[in-house]
Structure 1
Amino acid sequence: MDMVAEAPATAPKSAGAFFDRAAFAAAAAALMAGGPHARVLQRGWRETGGRVAFEHRGPHGRIAVSTSAPDAAAAWADVEEFSALTLDALLAVDLAARVDAEAVLQAKAYARCGDERRAFRAQVDAELDRLRRLRLQVEGATEVRTLADFLRPGPGAVSPRRPPAGPLRFDHRSNRGADVLAKKLAVWLSLQEDAEARKARQVRAVLAAIGELPVHIGERGARSGRLADRFDEALMRLEEAGLSRLRYRGESACAGDRSRGWITRWLRQTVVIEPQPGMAAPQTPLRRPVLS
């Protein structure tokens, strides 16, 4: 099945096609909440009455995200395979005209050739198939729609800070330090309104928004410590890339005493993550994307 956005006959030839902002935000949040730990997140996918879904709450209401899997077991199998590479595939829909596996590889500046490239292309094809299986239902609507239904023709970007190409080139592999967390933070930050983007938030709220807050955080000290370290390192990478700047209200727990109860104190700390000029969306209209 193709994901195609047909521009009306009256549209200028330079018009691109972009995801409806709310639908893009819902799909991105659902993907970030997927993966091997999807069942144990504080704000994640849930199974109710045999239906597995993720509920996204935005300024324009709720959007329920699900998959076209035939039953709950198959749905969970799909959701638990979501990864940062699936998120990269979603970002590429807004960056290229024909969004096949090769377009995603080019967007990520993947330089390897031969068997390695063919194997990675097959992996990306699997992620694109997962995107095709996503279903979205907007609050108040009766029909359940695919991602293709939310593509809109026009020269405007999906948000004032559409995710720039930089985060696509952060490593998508979970064993590569803070790159995945940096990618998620960049996508989340790019979808905030100007006032919201500079809003002071607790660390807990930021982690929940990007699918990184497990239900039992704090019960395993070493794992909690690694999460805190990755969080600060990810924000450092975004700052080095000119995408954002972090300000803690008070001292970061990573630099202080990690005595008993420190993770709770860290989660309650207030941070301001300010977008920088590198987060601004490009002004050049993009071409009409086709997910083939």
Structure 2
Amino acid sequence: MSTSDLRSTAAHSTVPVAEKTRRRGPNRDAVVAAVKAVAGIIGIFAVWQIAVAIFDPPEFLLVGPFSAFAELAKRPEYFLSNTFVTLQEALAGFALGTALGVLCGAALHYSSTVRSFLYPALIAIDTIPKVALAPLFIVWFGFGFESKAFVAMAIAFFPLVINTYDGLSSVPHELQELARINKASQWKKMTKIEFIHALPAVLSGAKISISLAVGGAVVGEFIAGSKGLGYVILLANSQVDLASMFAAFIILAVIALALFFLVDQAGRRLVPWKNHSS
């Protein structure tokens, strides 16, 4: 076999191995990370239950995770129906917040006039506690699904605005020059270079926003809710039913973690080059 044949064989054998390693790496890392996360959660529950068993506080002060899970097993339909309500509100708010946040972030980047007028106002509004804005949405949209979704949107909106703006503003000068040299249109420059480069930042904002949207839905239910996990927590609080309250907390944590994981996995699919940059 000649030297050229050996080189060709080595190249053909090395590339698939490298590709397989690169493909398997992120999946293996994700499994390890998931196992560690589950172990950490189990550890927290174990410490919590042990502390309750040792100190034996009265049930109106603290209950253990076993009591919370027993409450979930006792009334699964009750918690499932209210979970579905909160999940719908959170997803609707996240979708609205994502769309408006990306559009607003792009407007801040591409228009200096919009940026000079709108950016300070957005920062000022962001400093207002969203609990204070919730009654306003209820006045505007009533006591139904819409008001809770808009509260979730208001909370999920700001991380996406800031991350989109920062991502678009951080496009390297070399890429800008490359587009100019190739006489790319503004549309191609925006879609082929700027938004592609900003996508990791946008997805990072989405991972923050999805958890905030869950909290926003609960805030809306606190103010004016007759169903949902926020209402479950308020009702349990009025009845000093800590088992139901902690059961709702656990469900909210599971929802937030699951949605965060889904957005993270979507980001890995959309920006694979970021995951293999090392």
Name the TM-score, length of structure 1 as normaliser: 0.25
The structure showing larger relative contact order (alpha-carbon pairs under 8 Å, at least 6 residues apart) is: 1
Which of 1 and 2 has greater Rg? 2
By percentage of residues, which structure has more helix? Answer: 2
Greater strand fraction, Structure 1 or Structure 2? 1
Q: TM-score, normalised by structure 2?
A: 0.25
